[in-house]
A and B are shown apart, each in its own frame.
Chain A
Amino acid sequence: MGTYILRRLLLVPVTLFILSFGTAMVIRLTPGDVVDYRLQNSYTPERADALREQLGLNKGPFEAYFSWMSNAFQGDFGSSFVSSKPVVDEVKRRFPVTIELVVLTVLVQAFVAIPLGAIAAVRQNGLSDHSIRIMSVLVLAVPSFVVAVFALKFPPIWWGWLPPLGYVPFQEDPLRNMQVYSIPVIVGALGLMATLIRLTRTEMLEVLRQDYVRTARSKGLQQVTVVRRHALRNALIPVITVLGLSFGGALGGVVIIEQIFSLPGLGLYALNAVQQQDYLVVQTFVVFSGFMFVMVNLVVDLVYAWLNPRIRYS
């Protein structure tokens, strides 16, 4: 186990290098650079050259990348070309916005989808099973941006209630913060829920056929106890894995939600940086989100092995 973890950890720098190097080279292929964006009206060739010199844009792509990398090893990821602020500070400021969105979305998704999946399995082919399955198929088909437009536009018309917008940090005003997050979280969770419901149902169906469930029933335990203590616990092992992996994916996949609800998170930051060709911001974002993704996946794999002792990594 120790060597397995060590080998996975040794691959992390390799992955991050390929990732940041590839991104740095690809984004420099874009026609034009950030200078056009910054100078817009006051553009003269002399000013452009001076600004390029100042931002270090006159270096070749390799030179630029490796000087950024050697600074990054010392914790200096450079500054944004647009705002001139250090990228690390901006990431630190925006990370809580995104992580709160992701954690809340995954939690809501889990707390709704797992019970629904379990009920569907226990009542297999019954009315609740069919309605839960139909509902999850329908929900999966409606794009989250359509749901988001609905959630933003129709409540004011129907009930004269405007969903609160404008991000407030949790430590400043917890209630307001929760109100701002409520709709984005529900919209995000809806999109991911269907897969989890289906997975929980399939796993539960399999577990409910096992001998130990029959044993538990035959010794006279109540249905609720059998389902909760004996079946669900075992069925949840793969479900938790998938939930963990979706957590890693959701970290970067919240771009759309952040954009629609104008939450100042990492996804929006990266989206703008790509469009403004803010090279160092893009490179740092890639390293940061790649690192998070790899570590979350490693933890998920280890938790899986811990929950299911039959799994042995080598």
Chain B
Amino acid sequence: MTESAALATGAEDPAALVARPGIWQRLGKTARSQPVGVFGLFLTLVVVVIVIFGPYLATHEPDAETTNLLASPSGEHWFGTDLKGRDYFSRTLAGGRITVTIAVVSLALGTAAGTLIGMVSAYVRFLDLLLQRLIDAILALPGLFLILLFITVFGKEVQILIYVLALSVTPPLVRIARAATLSTLTNPYVEAAEVVGASWLRILLRHVLPNIAPTVGTIFAVGVGNLMLVTGALGFLGLGVQPPQSEWGQMIANSRQYVASASHLFIYPAIGLALAVLGVNLLGDSLRDLWDPRLRGTT
């Protein structure tokens, strides 16, 4: 029985007889087709290492104040010291850790919430009408203003920043997930699932979610860099992470007066932020090219 099945497929599709290349071969092929993406992956991995192992890589306690103020970079202090004599290398590591964590966690939360709400909204009619009006309203507000409003009301703690940023990325994702769900729902297999009595939850999770996952995944991959910039911008405006905890945007804002006299204070967090954003953007672009079926094979 199994033999005849194998023979049948073999007869129909000679390509099936050729062994499928191993996972490493396929990864290598993908990597060669996306050299820029590999560079982005490398930068992203550096960022990931900083986020996970930052505290072990730090040479000093990031918040420890000394009398060695505004020292230039040296063997003892690789990135020099700041106004309060704190080791700037350790502070840059700690700052990057918090910037990246806030961006990634809030985007993940917002994406998950937006996807769920979008799917449900597309499926449940009466809810849809209400939700879409609410989202119209939120989208009509300038994004940064919405964030400012909520931060002022609820405070500037890291947790709250994460929730507020997540809230700010949710509405557009609801729109995208809703549109993708609506187009998936027209497929005959969804109708078939309904006919055999699958619950709405099963239909959404088993039949819709896998179909809209590439779209949502692409939005996530392309959005991380932007969210890092927003986190940094909040820190720069003094509305983000509060001292003594360091954060890239906040460090850049505090170094404004010393750009000429102690340029290392400005340069390191600025380069850190730019490289991190560059890395995730390049990686995100490559992933989009790989995941988006419309772009496949165009470049």
Interface residue ranges, A against B (CB under 8 Å): 11, 14-16, 18-19, 22-23, 26-27, 29-30, 137-138, 140-146, 149, 153-154, 157, 205, 249, 251-253, 255-256, 259, 267, 270-271, 274-275, 277, 282, 285-286, 289-290, 293-294
Say yes or no: is B194 at the interface (Cβ < 8 Å to chain A): no
CB closest residue in chain B, given A271: B148
* Bound-complex Cα distance A275 to B151 (A): 10
Select from chain B the residue with minimum beta-carbon distance to A133. B36
Say yes or no: A255 contacts B142, CB within 8 Å.
yes
- B15 lies within 8 A of chain A by Cβ: no
Q: Provide a sorted-by-A list of 15 A–B residue pairs whose CB atoms are within 8 angstroms.
A: A23-B149, A26-B150, A27-B153, A137-B282, A141-B277, A141-B278, A145-B232, A153-B256, A153-B259, A255-B144, A255-B148, A271-B237, A285-B145, A289-B145, A293-B142
Interchain pairs with CB closer than 8 A, number: 128
Cross-chain contact B136 with A251 (CB below 8 angstroms): no
Among the stretches B53-61, B213-221, B266-274, the one at the interface with A is: B266-274
Contact with A along B270-299 (1 / 0, CB 8 A): 100111011001100100000000000010
A143, B232: Cβ atoms closer than 8 Å: yes
> In the assembly, what is the distance between CA of A294 and CA of B142, in Å?
12
Q: A81 CA to B260 CA in the complex, in Å?
A: 40
Contacts of A145 in B (CB 8 A): 232-233, 236, 249, 252-253
The secondary structure that dominates the A interface is helix
Residues in B with CB closer than 8 Å to A205 are 298
Question: Does B229 contact A289, Cβ atoms closer than 8 Å?
Answer: no
B contacts, CB < 8 Å to A: 133-134, 136-145, 148-150, 152-154, 225, 229, 232-233, 236-237, 249, 252-253, 256, 259-260, 266, 270, 273-275, 277-278, 281-282, 285, 298
Q: Is the CB of A153 within 8 A of B232?
A: no
B229 near A19: Cβ-Cβ < 8 Å: no
A23 to B150, CA, bound (A): 10
CB pair B141–A149 under 8 Å, yes or no, is no
Query: Which chain B residue lies CB-closest to A291?
Result: B140
Q: Given the known inter-chain contacts A18-B133, A149-B259, please indicate yes or no for A286 contacting B141, CB distance below 8 A.
A: yes
A149 touching B145 in the complex, CB below 8 Å, given contacts A15-B140, A18-B137, A137-B278: no
Considering the chains assembled together, what is the distance between the CA atoms of A238 and B274 in angstroms? 29
Contact check, B256 vs A146: say whether CB atoms are below 8 A apart.
no
Could you say which residues of chain B place their CB within 8 Å of the CB of A140? 225, 277, 281
Q: Which of A19, A146, A153 is B140 in contact with, Cβ under 8 Å?
A: A19
Q: Given A146-B273, A253-B142, A253-B143 in contact, is the A153-B148 Cβ separation under 8 Å?
A: no
Instruction: Please determine whether A252 and B232 come into contact, CB atoms closer than 8 angstroms.
Output: no
**Smallest Cβ-Cβ distance to A292: which chain B residue:** B140
Which B residue's beta carbon lies closest to that of A20?
B137
Q: Is the CB of B137 within 8 A of A19?
A: yes
What's the nearest-Cβ distance from chain B to residue A259, in Å?
A: 6
**Given that A145-B233, A145-B252, A271-B148 are contacting pairs, would A15 and B278 also be in contact in the complex, using a CB cutoff of 8 Å?**
no
